Amino acid sequence: MSKEARLGAVSAEPDAEVRADHRIGLPAIFAAFFWLGVTSFGGNTAAWLYYQIVQRRHWVTDAEFLSDVALGRIAPGSGGVNLTVQVGQRLRGGAGAATAVVGLLSGPLVIVLALAAAYTRIGWSPAAHAVLDGIAAAAIGLTFATGLKLLPSGSARLGPLAVTLATVLCVGVLRWPMLPVVLGLAPISIGLALVQGRNA
């Protein structure tokens, strides 16, 4: 195997340091996103990706991750798939993006078909429902923990924190459509970042 693949294998270890100047191998990208796909429950791909790709593997930074989350949600399509495309692109260009998406989707594709086939034979037990509820609850917990960890920090955090709060209020609590909320808040937040960048 190539040097890249070996690097990828090393980087799959927990707490491994991945150096930004080394490119990460496609097999490692596939393996990481395949695992991500089959273990992301309850629509929390972003939170899970943060844990696996950012915190454990350090393949992208917090700032890059957040920027990709935002664009992924504004663009059409699934936010989780869009995020994966962008992170894959950062890691290894077009090939990285394609590998990451195929890795992410191939496991769930097989599992969902197997579930559907099993369902048509044996039906659905109440216990299975309960287990799924339990998994979903913990997955939602991971989503909240991730969002809270990524709250704006630093000395000039009051403005950004207000933007986060406004986003949660409008989209999460009041259930306004996401796109107009983001398009309304983005100019304010970007303006704030420009002003703070100038003062810094």
| 31 binding another protein? (CB under 8 A) | no
| 12 binding another protein? (CB under 8 A) | no
Under rule CB under 8 A, which residues in 90-129 are in contact with another protein?
90, 94, 97, 101, 104-105, 107-109, 111-113, 115-116, 119, 124, 126-129
d(CA 143, CA 177): 20
Residue of the chain from 76, 121, 122, 199 that contacts another protein (CB under 8 A): 76
d(CA 56, CA 65): 13
Joined tokens for residue 112:
């969902």
Q: How far is the CB of 16 from another protein (least distance, A)?
A: 16
| 136 binding another protein? (CB under 8 A) | yes
Q: How far is the CB of 1 from another protein (least distance, A)?
A: 27
Q: How far is the CB of 58 from another protein (least distance, A)?
A: 15
Contact present, 60 and 48 (Cβ < 8 Å): no
Q: How far is the CB of 23 from another protein (least distance, A)?
A: 16
Under rule CB under 8 A, which residues in 147-186 are in contact with another protein?
147-152, 160-161, 163-168, 171-173, 175, 177-179, 182, 185-186
| 16 binding another protein? (CB under 8 A) | no
| 9 binding another protein? (CB under 8 A) | no
| 146 binding another protein? (CB under 8 A) | yes
Joined tokens for residue 91:
């890691």
| 68 binding another protein? (CB under 8 A) | yes
Using CA atoms, how far residue 158 sits from 76, 146, 147, 162, 192, in Å, is: 31, 19, 17, 6, 11
| 1 binding another protein? (CB under 8 A) | no
Give the DSSP H or E segment for 125. Answer: none
Task: Please provide the DSSP assignment of 4-53 as one string.
Answer: HHHHHHHHTSTT----TTSPPPHHHHHHHHHHHHHH--TT-HHHHHIIII
Amino acid making up residue 70 = A
